[in-house]
Amino acid sequence: MKIRDDYTCPLEIVHDIIKEKWKTIILYQMKDCLLRGHKSAQYIEGLFMEKIITLENVTKTYGGKTVIDSVSHNFMMGESIAFAGHNGCGKSTMLKILGGLIRIEQGQVSYHKKVRFSYVPEKFPGNELPMQSYLQYVADMEGVSFTDVDKLIQDFFLDSMRHTKMKNMSKGSLQKVGVIQALMAPHDILLLDEPLSGQDMDSQVVFIDKVNQLRDKGVTIFMSCHEKKLMDNLSDHVFTINEGKLEKLEDVSEGSQAKTQFKVYVRMNDKLTAWPDMIPQNKNLVFTVKREDLQEAVTKIFKEGWELAGVEEYI
């Protein structure tokens, strides 16, 4: 059944849908395109969306510091959730709690169905294996044709690194390997810890497209991130963790203007001179500036004759 993106569903049609008892995930996929801007969207979501993970009074401490403090929340099947906030606020900890990867001091984490996870850590570990051999091994374990994996290698611009040992790959390239591993055999829940932090802009576009394809298939996604681009393009809801408490942001820009920074991408060339904290990233150098310093930074780039490759908002 093909539905136009601009179609709006009258309330009487909603009741017909309910009578048919369509599967939860189909209704969830329809919600954004079929019910966009219509009051019946919340009605359907409340009736049909199923819980997938429930947190009840969950507390996690590190070294005597409470990072997650008595958090209770129901997460729904098929949602895409972003956790935003400053470094150290508890985003990565929350992902690990949701995935059952760490112990909690108090509370309970309940899964409402038997689920399988894919997890991409911020720092994907290297090893002695060449990249292609590693992915071939994982594909064999997952029962996946390497033809599909080979396409992902090309999509993420890793062709030239097929025979590079993973221990010799950069953080950004290792992240791509982690993402490919997660995408080759999508599970019920995908956990992504700062998935764009080391990726070039071209790979970011590919990443967003691939994850949106998983969303269309009903995969539940949890990610920690700073990039507003990710929140806008991939998330249904954005939460921040403030003094251990989970707080929902109705508007991603709400209360964040003063904290917003920008990643500035400059194309490498012979004219480049030193700039504090410039980080090489494929064919670009990347540095971060505050909102109030952005205009000055861009002015200097053009004055020095450098090539501006892109600017990315970073919360």
Query: Could you please report the per-residue DSSP string of the chain?
Result: ----TT----HHHHHHHHHHT--HHHHHHHHHHHSTT-THHHHHHHHHPPEEEEEEEEEEEETTEEEEEEEEEEEETT-EEEEE-STTSSHHHHHHHHTT-S--SEEEEEESS---EEEE-SSPPP-SSBHHHHHHHHHHHHT--HHHHHHHHHHTT-GGGTTSBGGGS-HHHHHHHHHHHHHHS--SEEEEESTTTT--HHHHHHHHHHHHHHHHTT-EEEEE--BHHHHHHH-SEEEEEETTEEEEESSTTTTTGGG-EEEEEEE--TT----TT-EEETTEEEEEEEGGGHHHHHHHHHHTTPEEEEEEEE-
Task: Assign domain 52-249 one CATH number from 1.20.1600.10, 3.40.50.10540, 3.40.50.300, 3.40.50.1100.
Answer: 3.40.50.300
**Ranges of CATH 3.30.1490.170 domains, the chain:** 260-314
> Would you place residue 297 in the very low, low, confident or very high pLDDT band (cuts 50, 70, 90)?
confident
> Above 80 in pLDDT, residue 10?
no
> Would you place residue 164 in the very low, low, confident or very high pLDDT band (cuts 50, 70, 90)?
very high
CATH class of 260-314: alpha beta
Q: What percent of the chain has pLDDT over 90?
A: 38
Per-residue model confidence (pLDDT) at position 241: 92
Query: Mean pLDDT throughout 63-73?
Result: 94
Q: What percent of the chain has pLDDT over 70?
A: 74
**Measured over all CA atoms, what is the biggest interatomic distance in the chain, rounded to whole angstroms?**
67
**Ranges of CATH 3.40.50.300 domains, the chain:** 52-249
> Above 70 in pLDDT, residue 252?
no
> Would you place residue 273 in the very low, low, confident or very high pLDDT band (cuts 50, 70, 90)?
low
Best mean pLDDT range from 28-37, 83-92, 266-275: 83-92
> Would you place residue 272 in the very low, low, confident or very high pLDDT band (cuts 50, 70, 90)?
low
Per-residue model confidence (pLDDT) at position 264: 77
> Would you place residue 308 in the very low, low, confident or very high pLDDT band (cuts 50, 70, 90)?
confident
Task: Render pLDDT for 96-108 as a digit per residue (tens, 0 to 9).
Answer: 999 999 999 999 9
> Would you place residue 290 in the very low, low, confident or very high pLDDT band (cuts 50, 70, 90)?
confident
